[in-house]
Amino acid sequence: MIDVVADFIKNIPKHLDTLKGWIDEFINSLKGFENQIFKGLEATLDLLYDLGVVIAQKIDPNTGEVLVQGVDGAIYTVKQNGKTILEGTEDAIRKFAQRIDEIRTSGGNTKKKVQHYLDKLAEDLSIKYSNVLNERGLKVVREKGASTNISVLDTEGDIIMKGKQDDIEKYLKKMEKSNEEIISEFDRVLKIAVKSDSKRFNPLKKALIKYRNKGINILKSGLKGGIEKGRGLVPDFLHTPQYLFNADKRFGKIKIKVTGIDSDDFRLCNEAVEKFMPGFTKKYVLNGKNKPNRYTWHHMDDYDPITGECTMQLVKTKIHTACFPHKGAPGIIELFFGIARSKS
């Protein structure tokens, strides 16, 4: 291959016709696409070019092939100054062009109005990530007033990720990969964390000596008799149920879909408890913190990046604090998705 390129460079004059043919073929393919999408909207296309907007087929960086969305055909990307405005099929791009044309012909400062619309599109995650959202049956919902005001809902309407604009973008970019790719990368990242992460749980830490002297060993997750898919990054209090609420093992097996926001996670935990202990919230959660006094909702490390599911345990705050540091679902989300989680 190197020899072929070297020969091509050495004999550029001889290959000019070939090079010209390649360029002509590329230009003609672009013209064909433009004529197809922007037929009757040539003035709109010129306006977009004046604003530095580029429309091209999306290429798979690994294979170099054009990405395709099922029977809908090739996926196209609309960019301006390197920033992605929109991704979608030919039909989506055609609708985009028609909307731009409506703005163009509405009068006033055309360029300013179109640019405002482009800026708005660039911030609309439902449009920007429509492919992965549609493929996974997810929905993006924006709330007013909250700092972490964007939620991703699954097919059941449950929140599986919540955060700021940048947080949700990081999450959706990761979810563009196949489930197999996500799980493979996730497992690889956590295997490294178990071996070397500074925040992984250490059962032999000094703060736990007084418990060991009493014959009480706080064991890490992943051991027989504990949470089935534990990774060894956190303490698992199923082995020491005396530290669970009411010494009841049911409080060591609460399943929720983690939102990434502690207050929301704790509320979901309380709702889950109500199913087997009606009146729990009214009787015990009186401090406005979504947990009983002197107890803490503890995130386990069996977090599933596809479904968002994770086990929670309601444990005594004192022992939970003594077990710091440890890396439960919030730390895993931060590690894998690059999202700093919020406690509020």
* Distance separating alpha carbons of residues 122 and 86, to the nearest angstrom: 7
* Distance separating alpha carbons of residues 217 and 240, to the nearest angstrom: 8
Structure tokens at 166: 């940048």
Residue 128: its pLDDT value, please? 82
Domain locations along the chain: 2-136, 137-176, 180-337
* Distance separating alpha carbons of residues 221 and 233, to the nearest angstrom: 7
Report the first-to-last Cα separation within the chain, whole angstroms: 57
Instruction: Say what percent of the chain tops pLDDT 70.
Output: 86
* Distance separating alpha carbons of residues 273 and 296, to the nearest angstrom: 14
pLDDT digits (tens, 9 = 90+) for 299-329: 999 999 999 999 999 999 999 999 999 999 9
pLDDT digits (tens, 9 = 90+) for 131-179: 899 999 999 998 876 666 899 999 999 999 999 989 999 999 999 999 9
pLDDT digits (tens, 9 = 90+) for 285-298: 987 789 999 999 99
At residue 310's C-alpha, the angle toward residues 140 and 180, to 5°, is 70
Q: Which single residue is written with the structure tokens 């087997």? A: 276
At residue 153's C-alpha, the angle toward residues 152 and 158, to 5°, is 130
Provide the CB-side half-sphere exposure for 229 (13 A, CA). 13
* Distance separating alpha carbons of residues 114 and 107, to the nearest angstrom: 11
